[in-house]
Amino acid sequence: MGSADPLLVPGPGRSLVSGSAPLLFALPLLLTLLFAVRRLRQRQGDERGGAPASPEQFAFRALEGTLREVSTARTTLQGERDRAEARRRQVERLHSLILGSIGSGVVAVGEGGGVQAANPAAGEILGCHPLTLVGRPLAECLPTPCLVESVETVLATGEPLGRQEVAVVTATGAARWLGVSISPMADAAGRTAGAVLLFSDLTEVRQLQEEVETKRRLASMGEMVAAIVHECRNGLGAMGGYARLLERPEMGEGERRQAVGGILEEIGAIEAVLAECLDYVRPRPVRRGEVALGLLAQEVARAVAAAEPEAAVVAEGDAELTGDREQLRQALVNVVRNAVQASPPGAAVRIVVRKLGEAAEVAVVDRGRGMSEEERGHLCDPFFTTRAAGTGLGMSIVKRIVAAHGGQLEVESAAGQGSTVRILFPVEVA
C-alpha cells in the first residue's frame, strides 16, 4: 500500500474534516475558475470562427474575470457590513437617548448581583455618577436588605415583582423614598440573565402625604376637642343648675337627693364622653375568646332598655364566634343606641343573630326616621352626627372594631323607612 494523503487521514488530535478544510475551501473557487475558462474559450472560439486562443490567454482572462467578480462581491459585502454597523450604532444611540431621557432610574443587575448599567436618572436619584455604580454589588449601591432580597427573588424565579416603596440612603447620605419595580432580564435563549430595576423618587410625594395626614389629624383632633368641650359644657351647665338649687335653704331632703342624683348623672355622661374619645384615639388590642352572640345580644338589649326607659329592644337568634367580647359588646351597644335614638318612643328595635355558613351575622333593625343617601355615606365618619348631643364617634368606633375582627359593615336605609345595620363576622377570627 502507498503512503496515505496527510490531508485525508486524521492524525493524533486531528479530524478528517479539519484536515481537509483548505481543500474544501478552495474547491468552489477551482470549479468556478474551470467553468469560467471553458465559457470564455467557447465564446472566443465562436468569435474567431473556431480558432481558440492559447491556454495562457484563456486562463489569464478567466482569472481576471473571476477576480473582478470576487472584488465586486467583496465590495457589496463590505457595504452591507458597513450599513449593518451603522444601523447597530444608530440603535445603540437611540437606546442611549431613550435611557437618558427617562426621568425614572434604570439599573441593570447581572446574575451575580453586580450592577451592569445605569442611566443618568439613576445616578441623579442616588446622588452619584451612573458610571460609579457599574461593576459594584447592588447591595453596596442600594444598601436596603428588602430590595436586595427582592432582586434575588426575581433572579431565582424569573418572575417580575410589582411596585414597592422602600426607604434608601443615597451616596450623599440623604434619605429618600423610592417606588421600585423589578423585572427579569432574559438572554437570547430565554434564560434569566439578570434583572432590571425601574425606580422613581417619591420623597416629595411622601412628604406631601405626611403633611396632609398631619393636617388631617390636627383637624380631627380639633373636632374631637370641640365635641368634648360641647358635651362637657352641657354637663357642667346642668351641674351648675343643680348646685344652685342645693344652695337654697328651703329645699327639702327629697329635692336635695334629686339634685345630687342629677349631678352624678351628668358626671357619668361626661365620663362616658371622655371614655369614647379615648377609645377612638387609643384602640385596644383584640383579646380573642369564644363569644355567644345570642347571649351578648340579649345582654345589650337589657342594658340599652335600662338606659333608655322608652326603648323596646328585643334580641333573637344565636351564633358563636371567636373574638373580643368586650369590644363586640361596645360595638353592638353603639349600633343599638343609635337605632333607639332614631326611633319614635316605644318603637321596637330588633337584634337578629344568625349563622350564615362560616360567618355570623348580627342585624340591628329599626323603623325610625331612616337616613338619606348623603347621611348614609357619612355614617362612619368621625364626629359625624345628626343629633345635637353626642360626639359622633360611636359608628367610627364600630367600624374599627368590626374591621379588627375581619368583619364587614353594611347599612340599608332610606328616609322615612327605618334602617338596618348588618355586621358580618367570620366565625374564626384571623
What are the φ and ψ backbone dihedral angles of 145, each rounded to 5 degrees?
A: -55, -45
For 15, the 3-state DSSP assignment is coil
Residue 136 is placed in which grid cell?
A: 459594584
Cα 81 to its chain centre, rounded Å, is 48
CA dihedral 224, 393, 270, 283 (to 10 degrees): -90
Same fold: 102-201 with 209-281: no
CATH fold of the domain at 209-281: Helix Hairpins (1.10.287)
Which residue's entry shows cell 365620663? 271
CB-CB contact of 106 with 196 (8 Å): yes
pLDDT in tens, 80-117: 888 888 888 887 777 777 777 788 899 999 988 899 99
Q: Where are the domains of the chain?
A: 16-97, 102-201, 209-281, 289-426
With a cut of 80, say whether residue 207 has pLDDT above it.
Answer: yes
With a cut of 50, say whether residue 4 has pLDDT above it.
Answer: no
pLDDT in tens, 16-51: 344 444 544 555 565 566 666 566 656 655 555 555
**DSSP secondary structure letters along 338-407:** HHHHTSPTT-EEEEEEEEETTEEEEEEEE-SS---HHHHHTTTSTT--SSSSS-S-HHHHHHHHHHHTT-
CB-CB contact of 361 with 423 (8 Å): yes
**DSSP secondary structure letters along 180-209:** EEEEEEE-TTS-EEEEEEEEEE-HHHHHHH
With a cut of 90, say whether residue 183 has pLDDT above it.
Answer: yes
Average pLDDT over residues 342-367: 88
CATH fold of the domain at 102-201: Beta-Lactamase (3.30.450)
What are the φ and ψ backbone dihedral angles of 409, each rounded to 5 degrees?
A: -120, 125
For 2, the 3-state DSSP assignment is coil
Residue of 9 and 147 predicted with greater confidence: 147
Cα 241 to its chain centre, rounded Å, is 57
Among positive and negative, which fits the CA dihedral 247, 249, 251, 255?
positive
Q: What is the CATH number of domain 289-426?
A: 3.30.565.10
Instruction: Report the C-alpha gap between 205 and 367 in whole angstroms.
Output: 47
pLDDT in tens, 396-426: 888 888 888 888 888 888 887 888 999 998 8
Instruction: Report the C-alpha gap between 110 and 216 in whole angstroms.
Output: 45
Residue 223 is placed in which grid cell?
A: 373636632
Please give the share of the chain, as a percent, with pLDDT higher than 90.
16
Instruction: Report the C-alpha gap between 11 and 8 in whole angstroms.
Output: 9
Of 121-125, 208-212, 233-237, 247-251, minimum mean pLDDT range: 233-237
